[in-house]
Amino acid sequence: MQNFQPSLVRYHLEVLVVDDDDLMSDVLTVHLEALGCNVACAASAEEALALLARKPVDLLVTDWQMPGMDGMDLVRHVRAGRSEDSYLHVVMFTARNDELVIRRAMEAGVDDFLFKPFEQVQLELALQGAQRNRLLHRRLQRRNSLLEVAHRRTREALDRVRADLDAATALHARLLPAEGLVGALNFRHLYRPAAMLGGDSIGVSPLREGGALFFLIDVCGHGVPAALDSFHLHHRIKQLRPKSPADLVQSLEAINREILDRGDESYATIACGIVRPEREECWMVCAGHPRPLIAIGDEVLIPEVEYGMPVGWFADASWKPTRFAFPPGARLVLYSDGVTECSNSAGEQFGVERLVRTLASNAGKRIRNFVGELERGMLARRSSAGFEDDISLLVIENKILEIQSA
């Protein structure tokens, strides 16, 4: 061993020296303390394990060959008992400088070696590696801690967003019309949003004058922005409460102005109408929305409802109400383009003709049979990513004769 030369570098490390040779432990201790280390000594591997259990250290310097448990087994025990995020630099002190020993030591968990007789530069090199690795480990721990805090905050924010989305989804569900008999009308609907929240909305509101106001809204886009617009339009139509053909047109004109005044690029298609079962009639306006279907017996017709532009496109857009017969037993079907444009894996769309056939094949059956069959057809076409567009449909059945005869 060369004469010790004082170093200007200080290594502020907690060190445990394990050697059954007291003289060698003393020599190492003197050198390590001169280099700024805080040193503890153990005369055996068993004593070292006891010391490590009480107080962690940055650097473990152990002899290989010792009575009882040797240095190799000590390193294995120490490595096996420490968590993955804990830090310990291990230096093995040995006179055997051969490849087999080095490989065995590395497999046991040794990071560095001091070969007897050691030189000061060897010791400083091992200390420098230990200090650098400790610094990197602490930086990594701080970074992981910051990442954990950021992850927790992100998770909490995501939980709040999910709670808000759940609340909005529940609100949207409450906006859907009640199914079953309302006066002389029987209602059934199908609603399957493309995302958690959809831009479609279905509404029904009984009128004091008799019959009911009904509408189906399809706002451009999907997700939260479309859902918020859909909520607003749903409540706006109910607030305007059209109860005559002229009111239907005035309501669309008011909504059109309001959307254009906002100055954004949103728009919506709306099918809106008033059905009066006792008069066997229905009045409707279509603002860019698919024309409805009406089933009378096993015959399915497409009423020639006047077609107008979607609301939110043009300031001078106009709409005209259309009247058509709605006799007892007739079924009126409103639907969004998400129904007819729903595609299977081959890209084939469901189409209006298939919708007409499905409606006709359920003539004489309860309307829930038609809606159930249609829903199964839609779900069979849904990809793993979900629907491409919102699926919404409203069925209204005139039950006036059954009510009168009851």
Cα 309 versus chain centre, distance: 35
Same domain, 113 and 186: no
Q: Strands 281-287, 322-325: parallel, antiparallel or unpaired by DSSP?
A: antiparallel
Same domain, 133 and 204: no
Q: What is the pTM of this model?
A: 0.68
Question: Is residue 112 domain-resident?
Answer: yes
Residue 230: which domain range? Answer: 176-405
Same domain, 137 and 201: no
What are the backbone angles phi and psi of residue 128, rounded to the nearest 5°?
Answer: -65, -45
Picking from 118, 143, 168, the residue at the C-terminal end of a domain is 143
Same domain, 102 and 247: no
Q: Which amino acid is at 60?
A: L
Question: Is residue 186 domain-resident?
Answer: yes
Q: Strands 89-94, 112-115: parallel, antiparallel or unpaired by DSSP?
A: parallel
Query: Taking a C-beta distance cutoff of 8 angstroms, is the pair 110, 64 a contact?
Result: no
Picking from 90, 122, 143, the residue at the C-terminal end of a domain is 143
- Residue 297 tokens, joined: 């017996």
Same domain, 131 and 180: no
Question: Is residue 127 domain-resident?
Answer: yes
Same domain, 212 and 356: yes
pLDDT given for residue 120 in this prediction: 82
Could you tell me the CATH number of the domain that includes residue 285?
Answer: 3.60.40.10
Distance CA 265, CA 142 (A): 46
Picking from 143, 160, 194, the residue at the C-terminal end of a domain is 143
> Which residue spans within 140-199 are E strands per DSSP?
180-182, 185-192
Question: Is residue 85 domain-resident?
Answer: yes
- Residue 36 tokens, joined: 């700024």
Per-residue confidence of the chain (406 residues) as pLDDT tens digits?
445 555 545 678 899 999 999 999 999 999 899 888 999 999 999 999 999 999 989 999 999 889 999 999 999 999 988 877 788 999 998 877 778 888 888 998 899 988 888 788 888 888 888 888 888 888 888 998 999 999 999 999 998 988 888 888 888 888 889 889 888 999 999 999 887 778 899 999 999 888 999 999 999 887 788 888 999 999 999 999 999 999 999 999 999 999 999 988 899 999 999 999 999 999 999 999 999 999 998 899 999 899 899 999 999 999 999 999 999 999 999 999 999 999 888 889 999 999 999 999 998 899 999 999 999 988 888 887 778 888 999 999 999 888 777 6
- Residue 365 tokens, joined: 């059956």
- Around 1, how many Cα atoms within 13 Å sit in the side-chain half-sphere? 16
Same domain, 339 and 192: yes
Same domain, 367 and 284: yes
Decide: residue 363, CB within 10 A, 0-12 exposed, 13-18 middle, 19+ buried: middle
Question: Is residue 329 domain-resident?
Answer: yes
Decide: residue 405, CB within 10 A, 0-12 exposed, 13-18 middle, 19+ buried: exposed
Task: Supply the Cα-derived Rg of the chain in whole angstroms.
Answer: 40
Distance CA 297, CA 362 (A): 10
Same domain, 199 and 134: no
Distance CA 87, CA 148 (A): 19
Same domain, 78 and 198: no
Question: Is residue 399 domain-resident?
Answer: yes
Domains of the chain: total? 2
DSSP-derived secondary structure letter, 118: P
Per DSSP, what are the bridge partners of residue 90? 60
Could you tell me the CATH number of the domain that includes residue 73?
Answer: 3.40.50.2300
Same domain, 235 and 314: yes
Question: Is residue 229 domain-resident?
Answer: yes
Distance CA 150, CA 56 (A): 29
Same domain, 65 and 186: no
Question: Is residue 9 domain-resident?
Answer: no
DSSP-derived secondary structure letter, 70: -
Task: Determine how many CB atoms are found less than 10 A away from the CB of residue 120.
Answer: 17
- Residues in CB range of 43: below 8 A, 6 or more apart: 18, 19, 20, 22, 25
